Structure 1
Amino acid sequence: MMRTKLLHTIRWKLILLLLSSFGVTAISLLICYAVSTLLVDVKPINIPLRWIVNNIGSLPVMIVVGFVVFFVSFFMNSKRFVRQLNEINTGVKEISNGRFDYQIKLNSNDEIGEVANSMNQMTEQLSLYLEEITYGLREIAKGNFDTQIPVRPGSKLGEVADSINQMSRQLSHSIQEERNAEKTKNDLITGVSHDLRTPLTSILGFLEVIEKDRYQDEVELRYYVNIAYEKSLALKKLIDDLFEYTRINNGLPLDMEELDMVDFIGQLAEEFVPSFEKAGMECVLEANERQLKIMADGSQLVRAYENLMTNALRYGRSGKVVDIAVRRDHDQVVVSFTNYGDPIPERDIPFIFDRFYRVEGSRSKETGGTGLGLAITKSIIETQGGEITVRSDRQKTTFETRFHIYRT
């Protein structure tokens, strides 16, 4: 736009220079003609005039004089214009070299002066915006990733500022993820160390009693051996769960195949019938369709649902019933496990799937679990494209999974 305006101004300026030079030439010729008419009778000046008129002719003389006057007039009139163009050209070169603070110095109120003023305003705004971008980059370099550079729409520098802001947000997100990963690793090490040390300390304590013969009789010896054995089993379960959790989260290869969830959950419920009978509980299965198919790795998925079934069995004893429902919800297969035992405190629900997280109160005291069961379940469900949620109140607690229906 600035270039078009400048070219338009130069074109009209040249036209005006040409017209003014023609005007000066015409006036000069009229003055010369009037003067020569007056001097033609004045001696001795009239002698060369008459010779020129008689031998060369007045018309050729006027033509030559007109050309000379025209070019002299055009040169004199264009000197200021050329100086202005040189000043603008110098300014354009300085700006193209990156000196956006350069100001074109033209004391003119004509069109060229307006162009120069427009260019000065443009470079001033450009320089100020670059200072804002530079300041933002310096703040980002200091680690202040919440710094946002103002984005001016419709300009290339605005696109640059927007790209820098996006880069800053992405960098902040990546750094936060790295910090979270480091914290997660430290938490995992802390949790594993604590949970391994507790049963191991008990085992070593009872073995020390046995080793130093500090038991009274064989009955007490067998009692100590039994405790050490139970603690060893708990330790083995923790190690197995930890290995399973790590294996799943490190990209366990999946053998995806078509799986009928109605039949799958039905078989699982049948396998748990003896456990429910032993606990004096009842398992009720409800399915509103004969077949609901998904794509999943059945060998891995069975582990997830076994954990949910065991969880319902452990914490729902006071309710005596566990309801399992398999249903369709639009394009999803929904499987829910509902028990009517003690509720999960509202403050614990957001963390229930975190590894090594144990709910305080009766639920954790009764079981003494590893704190990895629900974390393993969540990992298995999500790695196969599903999702799992939990809701709990005074009446019931429901764990619910969702998978997209597989359509052949």
Structure 2
Amino acid sequence: MDTPSAAPHRMAPSGGCPHADNARLLARGAVVPVVLPGEIEGMAVVGHEALKEFLAHPDVAKNARHFTALREGRISEGWPLLTFATVQGMTTADGEDHRRLRSLVSRAFTARRVEELRPRIEELTVSLLDDLARAAASDGGVADLRHHFALPLPLGVICELLGVEDRHRDRLHRLSGHVVATDIGPQQVIAANRELVAVLGEIAQARAEHPGDDLTSALIAARDEEGDRLSQQELIGTLVLMIIAGHETTLNLITNAVRALCDHRDQLELVRSGHATWGDVVEETLRWDAPVSYFPFRYPVRDLTLGGTVVPKGTPVLAGYSAAGRDRAVHGSDADRFDVTRPRRGGAVRSLSLGHGAHYCLGAPLARLEAGIALEGLFTRFPDLELALPEGEPPRHASFVGNSVLTLPVRL
């Protein structure tokens, strides 16, 4: 149990590998006080059971009108986490507004629609593996798997779903990186957000003038035909969410899974021998090295006691997905061990890494499908693939939100 006298944990704006800090926080309790950039007081829920309760709690809101520091004017325009709080879309809506916005997008992510994407994902995977082979051949047998494979696969799929032209993709990825970064300066924050809104406005305008069979065109139709269903701000906010969540999460998931398998060859052999599946690899990666470490924000609408700790009304709370994934109280004494057979054990606990409750990730089935196809294709095509890391670890996200490395050189 955390106590009022315990010093708050300072969330490192520069990010880094979260697991050592997570272990220390879990030792303090399921809910711990934190200091966010800008000296903003917050809380982080790191225990699995506490997080599961918190994510579905009826007295916890997503709308930033419940964010006390923001309402009191203590948050600057250049605060690096401001977009997470104020973007207008599903992730900051509650109740009927949330149901309305979610219903507009959910039809694109039904089990049937996601399964229909399988042939296209498999086609893209084969093409990108060819690109990866060419990149390695031109650089002494080594290529950056993240850049040539893990990134363009989910980015290509979500952009096709949204009707985004190829020319915008690299720019959108760069701007997405700025949005999830927690160590950039105020002017860079403001500039990146303005540029992202401008690019998405340009994309929306193009789809309005030339509608297609894509999600953006469908959202625009909802805005124009039934104005009460979607405002222009909500349209842009929804596109922000779809672009960032639609590729950053899966990009990190694929990258983290490849690292894990290369570092644990015995686990890779379990899959190859039929004792585990690629789906098992995806689930264990979600638990063991969650693609999102700490997701902002939720706010109690009243003082809330959670995991023995009082979370004051209006406090910005982080969902500690990477910490909860290694909570020994739930996942066992070997929670730090990467074990692809874990999901097959009796009474296995499902990871919370893609959310829980009303805000459970709509794109979770798509992320799982993309990652499974990508991993199977990669290790089938290149069975001897190994990491080609120089001394030391590769650079990581400059953020405590995203959890992965920025490059992943591999030898095919």
TM-score, scaled relative to structure 1: 0.22
- Greater Rg over alpha carbons, structure: 1
Higher relative contact order (CA 8 A, sep 6+): 2
TM-score, scaled relative to structure 2: 0.22
